[in-house]
């Protein structure tokens, strides 16, 4: 969303004094509880022209890729996301926080007042350090914890380091994911299948199990699932079934942890312009026309999902648990 196109709560609150003073003389729209005047309204933007459209140039990178080397560079809200204190004082661990949706969530969380620990694969240090700098710029704690999520020992130490660095934990975003496009099951090696399962299914299990004794009531767990959970592509045999599993664990854990006051929800993106897609996630021809099949004629940008991660973590979403919120440009499910 363009900077000028939305009015944030902070702007609204900042302008409240003036608005209230003016309200004595100018009739205001009282129904919104903020006495806003029509002139205070948000500008709306056409979502079909808001972000880059295909064709994109072919730009393969070795896994896991660096988004800073992509053209166009994915928009994770670096210049656009405005916070309004929705997560003030919260403590979040986000896997895959260096790039894509995890980075968008990390930036938004920090701007909403949370301290944030991010995990990423060690070769992604460059992207990760940009995020760490952005979190620090908000005056929040930023903890960088590189490591391979396919290791149970690392996942356990990740949780312990996050708790030690943040002084506690009340938001976990299991967002990291492995997606490799392989046309035939015959060519899926056991190692590749295992890597996909370890990253996408085992790591959230190991992380949540380790963290649970430390999570207070009111905590939120969020998993990144996918439209692939509901409508799998033929070349994503291994990946798509892990996203169905993610959708499923969100619903079972929501039932298990609800009585403890811990909410568990999922985000199901459609095609989003990220490093995952250019580092083996999509065949070159699909990558070049990425997102052309959505009703907006373009892929989503990670920034367009940031507010969903904020919403699911925020205390005022206290009745949302076991939900999967989609964002897919008019196609896909949920």
* Contact string (CB under 6 A) for ligand NAD, positions 271-310, x = contact: xx-xxxx------------------------x--------
Report how far residue 210's alpha carbon sits from residue 172's, in angstroms, rounded to the nearest whole number: 11
* Contact string (CB under 6 A) for ligand NAD, positions 34-73, x = contact: ------------------------------xx-x------
Interaction partner, residue 150 (ligand NAD, Mg ion, none; CB < 5-8 Å by kind): ligand NAD
* Contact string (CB under 6 A) for ligand NAD, positions 156-175, x = contact: -------------------x
Interaction partner, residue 77 (ligand NAD, Mg ion, none; CB < 5-8 Å by kind): none
Interaction partner, residue 329 (ligand NAD, Mg ion, none; CB < 5-8 Å by kind): none
The answer to the question of residue 332 lying near ligand NAD (CB under 6 A) is no
Interaction partner, residue 332 (Mg ion, ligand NAD, none; CB < 5-8 Å by kind): none
At 82, phi and psi to the nearest 5? Answer: -115, 130
The answer to the question of residue 100 lying near ligand NAD (CB under 6 A) is yes
Which one of the spans 35-43, 130-138, 176-184, 255-263 is the region binding ligand NAD (CB under 6 A)? Answer: 176-184
Q: In this chain, which residue has its C-beta nearest to ligand NAD?
A: 100
Report how far residue 305's alpha carbon sits from residue 295's, in angstroms, rounded to the nearest whole number: 17
Report how far residue 241's alpha carbon sits from residue 307's, in angstroms, rounded to the nearest whole number: 26
Q: Which of 125, 148, 152, 192 binds ligand NAD (CB under 6 A)?
A: 148
The answer to the question of residue 269 lying near ligand NAD (CB under 6 A) is yes
The answer to the question of residue 246 lying near Mg ion (CB under 5 A) is no
Cβ at position 220, least distance to ligand NAD in Å: 17
The answer to the question of residue 199 lying near ligand NAD (CB under 6 A) is yes
Contact 74, 102 (CB under 8 A): no
Is residue 239 flagged as an active site residue? yes
The answer to the question of residue 99 lying near ligand NAD (CB under 6 A) is yes
Which positions are annotated as active-site residues?
A: 239
Q: Which residues of the chain form contacts with ligand NAD (CB under 6 A)?
A: 64-65, 67, 96, 98-102, 120-121, 124, 148-150, 175-179, 199, 224, 226, 269, 271-272, 274-277, 302
- Site residues (CB under 5 A) for Mg ion? 98-99, 124, 275
């Amino acid at each position: 969303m363009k900077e000028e196109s939305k009015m944030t709560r902070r702007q609204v609150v900042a302008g409240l004094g003036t608005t209230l003073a003016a309200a004595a003389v100018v009739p205001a729209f009282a129904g919104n509880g903020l006495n806003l005047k029509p002139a205070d309204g948000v500008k709306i933007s056409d979502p079909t022209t808001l972000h880059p459209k295909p064709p994109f140039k072919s730009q393969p990178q070795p896994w896991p890729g660096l988004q800073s080397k992509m053209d166009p560079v994915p928009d994770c809200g670096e210049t656009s996301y405005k916070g309004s204190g929705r997560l003030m004082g919260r403590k979040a661990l986000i896997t895959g926080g260096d790039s894509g949706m995890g980075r968008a969530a990390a930036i938004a969380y920090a701007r909403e007042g949370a301290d944030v620990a991010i995990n990423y694969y060690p070769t992604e240090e460059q992207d990760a350090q940009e995020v760490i700098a952005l979190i620090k710029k908000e005056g929040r704690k930023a903890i960088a914890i590189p490591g391979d999520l396919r290791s149970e020992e690392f996942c356990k130490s990740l949780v312990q380091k996050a708790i030690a660095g943040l002084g506690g934990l009340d938001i976990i975003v299991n967002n990291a994911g492995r997606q490799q496009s392989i046309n035939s099951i015959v060519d899926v090696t056991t190692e590749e299948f295992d890597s996909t399962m370890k990253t996408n299914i085992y790591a959230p299990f190991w992380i949540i199990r380790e963290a649970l004794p430390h999570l207070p009531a009111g905590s939120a767990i969020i998993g990144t699932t996918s439209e692939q959970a509901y409508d799998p592509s033929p070349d994503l045999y291994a990946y798509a079934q892990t996203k169905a599993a993610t959708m499923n664990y969100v619903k079972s854990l929501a039932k298990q942890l609800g009585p403890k006051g811990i909410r568990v929800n999922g985000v199901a993106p459609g095609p989003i312009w990220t490093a995952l897609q250019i580092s083996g996630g999509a065949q070159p021809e699909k990558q070049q026309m990425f997102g052309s099949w959505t009703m907006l004629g373009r892929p989503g940008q990670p920034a367009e999902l940031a507010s969903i991660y904020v919403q699911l973590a925020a205390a005022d979403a206290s009745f949302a648990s076991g939900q999967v919120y989609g964002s897919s440009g008019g196609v896909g499910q949920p």
